[in-house]
Amino acid sequence: MGNGGLPNPKSSRAPRARASSSSPATAMASPATAKPKTTKKHSARLNNPFPRAVPASAFRSGDAAPPLSFGPLSKLAHAHDYPVGSRFRLSWNPSLGGAVSLARVSSSSSGGEPPSRVMWETIPGVAFVSAASATTEADECRGSFALRDGRARLVPDRQSVDRIRALYRRDVETGADSLRGAVFEASDQTRFPVLLITGVVSAKKADPASSCCCGLRARARAGKPVLSARYWVFLEEKSDTQVSFSVKIADYQWSCGHADPSSPTPAATTAPRPHRITLLSLRLRLAGRIHRNMSKKKKLSAGFPPQPQEEVSALLPSPERASADEEARPEEFNRVFLTYASDRDERFYGFGEQFSYMEFKGRRVPVLVQEQGIGRGDQPITFAANLISYRSGGNWSTTYAPSPFYMTSKMRSLYLEGYDYSIFDLTKPDRVQIQVYGNSVQGRILEGESPTELITSYTGSTGRPPVLPRWITSGAVVGMQGGTDAVRRVWSQLQDHDVPVSAFWLQDWVGQRKTAIGSQLWWNWEVDDDHYAGWKDLIRDLRSDGVRTMTYCNPCLVPVCEKGNARRHLYEEAKELGILVRDEAGEPYMMPNTAFDVAMLDLTNPEACSWFKGILRGMADEGVSGWMADFGEGLPLDARLHSGEDPVAAHNRYPELWARVNREFADECKPEEGLVFFVRAGFRESSRWAMLFWEGDQMVSWQANDGIKSSVVGLLSGGLSGIPLNHSDAGGYCTVDLPLLRYRRSEELLMRWMEVNAFTVVFRTHEGNKPGSNCQFYSNSRTLAHFARCAKMYKAWEFYRIHLVKEAAEKGLPVARHLFLHYPEDRRVQELTYQQFLVGTEMLVVPVLDKGRTAVTAYFPTSDGGSWRHVWTGQEFGGGRRSGHGSVGEATVHGFEAEVSAGVGCPAVFVRVGSPVGERFTRNLRDLGVI
């Protein structure tokens, strides 16, 4: 039923394509960002099925971390504590090369008592700030992106700490010398004192026999040219649980020992002020760089006078002039590195919605919004996807909704602000290194005694979703396609089975188009009156039975000149208004979809946002109560935007802009029952704007990286990253139906996936991209009866769901929770991925995620002394029972495992013994005829 699906695994909801021969393009860059070289790979017929892993190793690795030194000032020669606001302290320890640590002052501390647990600390003798200048290389293919470091030009290998100073309001108002060159703005809310760390990053030229900075070959024993740049690190108390940090690195300078033998080395003094361009600096930037590209007959002497760049370039033969202009362009630092300490047994959680892993120690985690991929490492589908479309298979790190945030088993937590591409390198057991593609870094260090405290602190500043309207969580959301008659027929079947239904979600309300690869949606956001004849009558009739209607849209548009019944041509309207993302020629950027090209709204343009709200208004006026706000992850890295901002950073920001447009309309419209939209793409602050998430397009398989198991990992990792309201397509989405490669949704997979989703915040089905190849909830009497049973399980805990949704809005805590949130010191809990999860604190779900299984192994933590009761048999687990007790560091096993039956229709669900929630849930199951 519905459309015929797509031969390509991702349908119009998640475009994929045949890849193409590479065509290079360049991206706009902000003044502080190196211009990335972007290569398009959209339509090659065959591609490397094993593309190079991304990210590759950084050119600055933790194996050769630069040394740290400190100046001769007396305050740095001895250990000292500095206040950061009124609640935090930074400690300086000069031993072993020098290190700093940040801690919150214990509430019980007084006088000389030490601070409480350390929140953040550096490695003694290892630089915690460094920088580099490097080219950026990017590959792009239909929502899949790969960024790499190219040639590195400037790489300081040493850091000095010259001064640490607590600044008060009077220092800022009077313009203290230590603030010269720094960027700091105080406000009425600033909590003084603010701490400032200043120093220099530096490096000597590697080859002593090469040309010196002034254009001369260095003599024997002559001083090597020295690269140096001043940096500023600010620490500011932002709240009772947060300290913000910012790192800014000035323009680089060069000095020459033989030119000024009396000058001290940068490790013991400050660098030249950025605005003072000395003769030697100018010679390096202009003459020195040109010298390397000139013929040996053209040499610049030490007495060469400073000249404008165009005059120097004019000295070169014309074939060399273009190269000289390129090389002579002043470089800037466009990479910043932060390196700090980690314990060997420390476990890292978070980084947004991740699908393969819950814990990331030992990995390099890139934070870039993009398609999750088809297979993501599961074989053979990943091989096939990569072969026919460049990198479309994805890998363990590709995700729609990453976030530069983590928390650890040691209760340490940090997140980055801004939208620059970043990589968190956790491959070294004793450290964390963050690489940021920019020339500055801002972020926050969080304090908390538990994971729940850390999430509450984090979401307090990044944002939380609103309380959902009650209707969306009152019953199942039925995903349907096929037109009016199909919807009415299925609705009649659901009524016969007494299924609690809250809404019909009709993805194909805009009509379907026939393309070379099958049926796809018309991306022209108005109802197709032929496909859904009597649209308003259908909405009204469903509503009279208490059922809402939901639709679909995304921020892309297509020409619809071939669509005979189109009333509005939205692409042409947007093009005429100039509100589409543009290419380098200033024309609408047409991005390849599966079988057609699409344009994307430029949401950095306020006019585009206002215009699209008008589209949403038309939907709401027809009676639509909600919609899927799809996509948001595909902004090209070489786009031209209305705001003029760097498109690489805007790429990560775009999902937030997309969610914000939808949210602002939902808040402005305010119908009595409330509107609901759900998104798949996101970034750090998406929960401030998105009402609800879904996990995108999993395969219809049992596999770990992109099947039913990954849907549980995504649910729980998102919950640990500030995405508290999330769900997946029951049954999965991505179907492949080829002679030698078949992924079809089986009846058993559909039933088990329904059981999982009956315990998420929203219980929604989807027919998949190939409805005819998949088992559906309406396929036969067994699937209909099972769907009714799962919908009643979902209905039975509605009362608790209302409480948890409110808690998510108030504290940022997820509805479905990894056990780490409440049992963080249990080593067995720390190792869990998809095996089980909590619903709030009162229910425990251990789903069947493997084909043919009728029993599961459940782990029952007992550190809180509680017991759990099986809802189907009444058997209790817990109390004084413990097994496998042991410890590794501070993590200890406090619980036991037990095998529990879990036949189809009776998933392993437990309630806390003595819990009013558990008692009411069990009673409701009886009343609904499930028990």
C-alpha–C-alpha distance, residues 726 and 680, integer Å: 9
Output the CA–CA distances (angstroms, integers) from residue 681 to 163, 218, 735, in the order listed.
43, 55, 21
Q: Could you tell me the maximum CA-CA distance found in the chain, to the nearest angstrom?
A: 95
Question: Does the active-site annotation cover 697?
Answer: yes
Marked catalytic residue, from 633, 656, 685, 767: 633
Marked catalytic residue, from 139, 638, 656, 697: 697
Is 255 within 8 Å of 268 (Cβ atoms)? no
Q: Supply the DSSP string of 336-354, one letter for each residue.
A: EEEEEE--TT--EEEEES-
Query: Partners of 249 in the beta sheet?
Result: 231
SS3 sequence of 820-837: HHCCCCEHHHHCCCCCCE
Token duo for residue 150: 């190219």
Radius of gyration of the chain (CA): 30
Is 133 within 8 Å of 331 (Cβ atoms)? yes
Token duo for residue 125: 């003798």
Query: Partners of 253 in the beta sheet?
Result: 228
Question: Does the active-site annotation cover 572?
Answer: no
Angle between helices 747-757 and 708-719 (to 10 degrees): 10
Angle between helices 451-462 and 798-811 (to 10 degrees): 70
H or E, element range at 665: helix 647-669
Is 137 within 8 Å of 147 (Cβ atoms)? yes
**Residue 914: exposure state from Cβ atoms within 10 A (0-12, 13-18, ≥19):** exposed
Which residue is it, tokens 């703005």?
A: 185
Marked catalytic residue, from 236, 447, 630, 695: 630
Is 135 strand, coil or helix? strand
H or E, element range at 39: strand 37-40
Output the CA–CA distances (angstroms, integers) from residue 596 to 16, 54, 297, 355, 576, in the order listed.
10, 28, 55, 29, 21
- Residue 3's Cα: distance from chain center in Å? 32
SS3 sequence of 739-767: CCEEECCCHHHHHHHHHHHCCCCCCEECC
Token duo for residue 252: 């680089």
Report which of 251, 273, 290, 232 is spatially closest to residue 31, judged by C-alpha positions. Answer: 251
**What are the percentages of helix, strand and coil residues in the chain, rounded to 5?**
25, 25, 50
Contacts 24+ apart (CB under 8 A), 526-534: 526/566, 526/567, 526/568, 526/570, 526/618, 527/622, 528/565, 529/565, 530/565, 531/483, 531/484, 532/483, 532/484, 532/506, 533/483, 533/484, 534/484
C-alpha–C-alpha distance, residues 782 and 151, integer Å: 61
- Residue 722's Cα: distance from chain center in Å? 11
Residue 257's contacts (CB-CB under 8 Å, 6 or more residues apart) are: 222, 223, 224, 225, 226, 263
The Cα angle at residue 250 between residues 249 and 253, in degrees rounded to 5: 125
Q: How many residues does the chain have?
A: 931
Residues marked active site are found at 630, 633, 697
